[in-house]
Amino acid sequence: KATMSSNSSQQPSWLWPSVALLGGSALAYMLGRASSSPSSTEALIMQELRELKRQQQRLQRSTASSAASAAADAAGGVVEESALRRSGSAEELLAGDEVLAQLQKMAAENKRLQRLVDLHEATHALDSESAKDQSRGALTPAEVETMRVIFDQYDENKNGCIEIGSLKKLHKRMGEPLTDDEARAAMRSLDPDNKGEVSFQEFLNWWYQTHRGRTKNDTYTKRFKLISAKLQHSDFDVSRVVTKAVGDKQEFRVMFNYKQRNGTLRRISPWHDIPLLSVGSSGQGSRIFNMVVEIPKWTRAKYEIATGEEFNPIKQDTKNGQLRFYKHGDMAVNYGAFPQTWESPDHIPPQTGFPGDNDPIDVLEIGTRQLKTGEIVQVKVLGVLALIDDKETDWKVIAINIHDVLAVRLNDIDDVERELPGIIHHIREYLRNYKSYSGQFNSYALRGEALSRDEAHKVIMETHEQWKSLRDSKRTTVGSEAKTDE
């Protein structure tokens, strides 16, 4: 743990995300390269390592044998002048260079895979430590974020604090009502200086101290009943969404269905039927959003919600009949979209001066785990970039999975630069240059500044209003295949 936290701020940003030079929070960021399944990941990596070592040994034995044979021939005077000429020929020298190059390539791959093993072990260690904390009564990252949303509902002055008199209301809302004596004791502990208010961090620390050390069963009966207290924005239960991959290549689709209470499946649209907000309200304060994952981190296939098809499944984008891949390199974040949003081509945001790109707003999730295409993830927003792509506004929201180990440390855009130095620069430059192979480059409005969480919330809710206008027009698709829902 001490090793992982050392020298994180000393790493130059241009090295991000080099596996060999990771430190501190950047290490946690790269842990997502390992799968969420420890046993299968470790077995696969170790199998690759063993195969590489076998190939290296075969090449080394072959090279050593050839060298020994040549030496023996030379010592016995058997090597003729013509053979000496042949051994020094360009062809044999080239063959030797090829063998050396293969050995060097294998050695580099060996080191890369060993680093992945190390990262996998570090991920497992973090998960084990988190599990121990939760067994002692600590909140999970997702529970902390849910508590933050509920806390903000009582922050009437919008200054990050609640009045001490609201403590009983907050406890009751969270499913753990306090008696008058308990409330007075809590107030004395939380507000010894009689300030009249308490911050979220102070409240969280106090809650942890009063609940720590309990067994898991006792925690379940005494801790906040966060699941029942969630401020669900609709009756839609994302845990009932069932995805299914069908077809191949150009015909590949990820279809979405909803498991109804009677046990039957109903086809749904990931764009129109999944609610934008998971927890919270459309007003100010903390909110948790539903994100639909399209492109997993460390992959290149350009998957997207098919806005021009009925029920809007996820498909791989095509250009001139060919499947599209990111030729600039792997996607280093989990890429997706917010449902029930739309960047209308009829609307020109004043911040950018260009019309919307006719798609749901994009989301870049920067957590430690690789997510799956079609997965619905609860995220909190951290900021937004105003990308201009082909003279269209293409907002890029920066967010974090609320279940991620980094979620409790990232609450706004400045936290991102502190905890993951260099990541915003990397995202900005990747999006600017990913079309450079064809001679095209994107640009940014607002000088490429990553805006704050509150500014990002405003942008998202504006695109939500634009989606409402699309819905009110009875249109379920956009583009050349657009249809109306009559």
What was the pLDDT predicted at 136? 44
Q: Which residue has the higher pLDDT, 134 or 256?
A: 256
Q: Please, are residues 349 and 407 in contact by the beta-carbon 8 Å criterion?
A: no
Q: Is the dihedral of CA 297, 301, 306, 312 positive or negative?
A: negative
Q: Which residue has the higher pLDDT, 481 or 414?
A: 414
| Average pLDDT over all residues of the chain | 77
> What DSSP state is assigned to residue 301?
B
What was the pLDDT predicted at 2? 37
Please state, in angstroms and rounded to a whole number, the distance separating the CA atoms of residues 424 and 244: 33
Q: Which residue has the higher pLDDT, 93 or 143?
A: 143
Record the pTM.
0.66
The phi, psi pair for 129, rounded to 5°, reads: -65, -40
Q: Please, are residues 79 and 154 in contact by the beta-carbon 8 Å criterion?
A: no
What was the pLDDT predicted at 62? 64
The answer on pLDDT for 207 being more than 90 is: no
279's enclosing H/E stretch is strand 277-279
Of 33-42, 57-66, 433-442, 444-453, where does mean pLDDT reach its minimum?
Answer: 33-42
Number of C-alpha atoms within 13 angstroms, CB side, residue 216? 6
* Tokens describing residue 306: 């098919």
Q: Is the dihedral of CA 361, 364, 367, 372 positive or negative?
A: positive
pLDDT, tens digit, 9 for 90 and up, residues 367-400: 999 999 999 999 999 999 999 999 999 999 999 9
What was the pLDDT predicted at 49? 64
- Most confident among 94-98, 169-173, 454-458 (mean pLDDT): 454-458
Mean pLDDT of 96-119: 67
Q: Which residue has the higher pLDDT, 40 or 350?
A: 350
Q: Which residues contact 263 (CB under 8 A, 6 or more apart)?
A: none
Please state, in angstroms and rounded to a whole number, the distance separating the CA atoms of residues 49 and 52: 5
* Cis bond upstream, residue 12 (ω within 30): no
What was the pLDDT predicted at 416? 96
pLDDT, tens digit, 9 for 90 and up, residues 275-310: 999 876 555 567 899 999 999 999 999 999 999 999
CA 137 to chain centre: 27
What was the pLDDT predicted at 221? 40
The answer on pLDDT for 16 being more than 50 is: no
For residues 231-241, one letter each, b for 16 or more C-beta atoms within 10 angstroms of the residue's C-beta and e for the rest, the string is bebeeeeeeeb
Q: Which residue has the higher pLDDT, 35 or 187?
A: 187
> Above pLDDT 70, what percent of the chain?
64
What was the pLDDT predicted at 30? 44
For residues 244-271, one letter each, b for 16 or more C-beta atoms within 10 angstroms of the residue's C-beta and e for the rest, the string is eeeeeeeebbbbbbbeeeeeeeeebbbb
